């Protein structure tokens, strides 16, 4: 039996290199040996952006276009939209009955976001219950593996705990999933903080050459390296952090920077070349995809048809376990 994989992202706009290297790349790899379910977590998008839902449809299509651009193959993977499979909301409700409030209140992502996000009122039940909904997504498909970025680890852990609790009460029904982290679990943004849309420090998938040039030009370099011959400190340098992702020989670069034989201007120029090269095919693919919305919608519909079959089977077992 092939292992089953489920992952998702919230449709909040275009994806960036953080999504690509942090998660999407492993989604793509898993397609070859696993049964993969990739979903647009549109209900999750509402946990924080409930006040304006006008962009969810459009963002979902943009995101699916980005996924396919990155190499997700609709012929191999099941791509669907969470809200179209009603079982997600049903399992969310059932799991909410057995979720201790303390687990939710202690969840690190909850604590962090409640403290950090000040421009939205997050004192709502849905936001507190975010990990319960995510658990429903994963458990509904009996996923063995959940490929995610570092920030989602606590949610996968939560999912295991809630599955264990369900199985203890009602008998062995749900599968405890394992997380899978990519090698580059954290991609830094242009300013050295984690790459994130809300920080405005990201490089988008399919970004055009002018934008790339501008972004690379404005990156900070090592403040102690003023002339080419000054010894550099690549470990704290954001340009080098990108080279570690794109350059085949980052060690050599590191030595040359430290030795004062490679200057920052040249180093940036080489980074820009690598970025442009990497991005060109992605930008082309993305442009074609985004101009064919009907195709993207068809992919989602076909994915939903398959996803609902799997979800339905699990739900029947759940009802049986509950003796309903
Ligand atoms: N919380 C995830 C994120 O913000 C998105 C998500 C929703 C998800 N449901 C999921 C990820 C199930 C993995 C599995 O990125």
Closest CA to 165 of 96, 256, 260, 236: 96
Query: What is the C-alpha to C-alpha distance for residues 45 and 83, in angstroms, rounded to an integer?
Result: 11
Helices (H) and strands (E) in the chain, counts: 15, 5
> Do 192 and 198 contact (CB within 8 A), yes or no?
no
In the predicted model, is pLDDT for residue 185 greater than 70? no
- Strands (E) across 14-159 are located at 35-40, 78-81, 145-147
Ligand 1 center–CA 38 separation, angstroms? 10
What is the pairing mode between strands 178-180 and 35-40? unpaired
Q: Which residues touch 281 (CB under 8 Å, ≥6 apart)?
A: none
Closest CA to 140 of 303, 311, 316: 311
In a domain, 20, yes or no: yes
Phi-psi region of 205 (alpha: psi -120 to 50; beta: other; left: phi over 0): beta
Instruction: Lowest mean pLDDT of 15-24, 87-96, 291-300, name the range.
Output: 15-24
Q: For ligand 1, what atom is nearest to the CA of residue 23? A: 15
CA 120 from centroid of its chain's CA atoms: 22
Q: Which tokens hold the place of 227?
A: 């002339």
Ligand 1 center–CA 27 separation, angstroms? 13
In a domain, 194, yes or no: no
Instruction: Name the closest-CA residue to atom 14, ligand 1.
Output: 7
Segment 129-169, tens digit of pLDDT = 999 999 999 999 999 999 998 889 999 999 999 999 999 99
R_g of the chain, CA atoms, integer Å: 22
* Most ligand 1 atoms within 8 A of CB, residue of 60, 135, 148 to mutate: 148
Instruction: Name the closest-CA residue to atom 2, ligand 1.
Output: 9
Q: Which domain holds residue 235?
A: 206-286
Segment 294-307, tens digit of pLDDT = 999 999 999 999 99
**How many domains, the chain?**
2
**Which residue carries 């909040």 as its tokens?**
12
Confidence class for position 184, pLDDT limits 50, 70, 90: confident
Is 6 close to ligand 1, i.e. is its CB under 6 Å away? Answer: yes
Express the helix, strand and coil content of the chain in percent, nearest 5 each: 60, 10, 35
Confidence class for position 250, pLDDT limits 50, 70, 90: very high
In a domain, 192, yes or no: no
Closest CA to 179 of 156, 198, 202, 208: 156
Is 147 close to ligand 1, i.e. is its CB under 6 Å away? Answer: no
Q: For ligand 1, what atom is nearest to the CA of residue 6? A: 14
* Mean pLDDT value of segment 58-62: 98
- CATH classification at residue 254: 1.10.240.10
Instruction: Name the closest-CA residue to atom 3, ligand 1.
Output: 9
Question: Does 231 lie in the same domain as 152?
Answer: no
Of the chain, the percentage scoring pLDDT greater than 90 comes to 90
The CA-atom distances, in angstroms, between 19 and each of 70, 203, 242, 291 are 10, 10, 15, 22
* Mean pLDDT value of segment 248-255: 94
In the predicted model, is pLDDT for residue 87 greater than 80? yes
Question: Does 245 lie in the same domain as 314?
Answer: no
Question: Does 179 lie in the same domain as 277?
Answer: no
Question: Does 256 lie in the same domain as 302?
Answer: no
Ligand 1 center–CA 56 separation, angstroms? 16
Query: What is the C-alpha to C-alpha distance for residues 302 and 149, in angstroms, rounded to an integer?
Result: 27
Question: Does 159 lie in the same domain as 95?
Answer: yes
Average pLDDT, the chain: 95
In the predicted model, is pLDDT for residue 190 greater than 90? yes
- CATH classification at residue 114: 3.40.50.620
């Amino acid at each position: 039996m092939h292992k089953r994989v489920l992952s998702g992202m919230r449709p909040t706009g275009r994806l960036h290199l953080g999504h690509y290297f942090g998660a999407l790349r492993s989604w793509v790899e898993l397609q070859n040996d696993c049964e993969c379910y990739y979903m647009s977590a549109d209900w999750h998008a509402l946990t924080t952006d409930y006040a304006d839902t006008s962009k969810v449809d459009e963002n979902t299509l943009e995101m699916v276009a980005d996924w396919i651009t990155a190499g997700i193959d609709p012929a191999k993977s099941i791509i669907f939209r969470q809200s179209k499979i009603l079982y997600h909301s049903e399992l969310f409700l059932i799991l909410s009955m057995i979720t201790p409030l303390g687990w939710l209140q202690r969840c690190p992502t909850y604590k962090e976001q409640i403290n950090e996000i000040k421009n939205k009122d997050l004192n709502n039940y849905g936001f507190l219950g975010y990990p319960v909904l995510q658990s429903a997504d994963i458990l509904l498909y009996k996923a063995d593996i959940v490929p995610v970025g570092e920030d989602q680890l606590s949610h996968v852990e939560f999912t295991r705990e809630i599955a264990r609790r369900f199985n203890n009460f009602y008998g062995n029904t749900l599968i405890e999933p394992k997380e899978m982290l990519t090698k580059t679990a954290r991609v830094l943004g242009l300013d050295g903080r984690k790459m994130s849309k809300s920080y405005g420090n990201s490089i988008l998938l399919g970004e055009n050459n002018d934008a790339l040039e501008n972004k690379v030009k404005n990156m900070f370099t090592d403040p102690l390296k003023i002339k080419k011959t000054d010894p550099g400190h690549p470990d704290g340098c954001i340009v080098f952090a990108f080279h570690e992702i794109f350059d085949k020989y980052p060690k050599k670069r590191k030595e040359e920077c430290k030795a004062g034989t490679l200057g920052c201007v040249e180093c940036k120029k080489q980074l820009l070349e690598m970025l442009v090269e990497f991005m060109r095919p992605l930008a082309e693919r993305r442009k074609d995809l985004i101009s064919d919305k009907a195709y993207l919608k068809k992919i989602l519909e076909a994915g939903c048809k398959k996803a609902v079959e799997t979800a339905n089977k699990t739900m029947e077992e759940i009802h049986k376990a509950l003796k309903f």
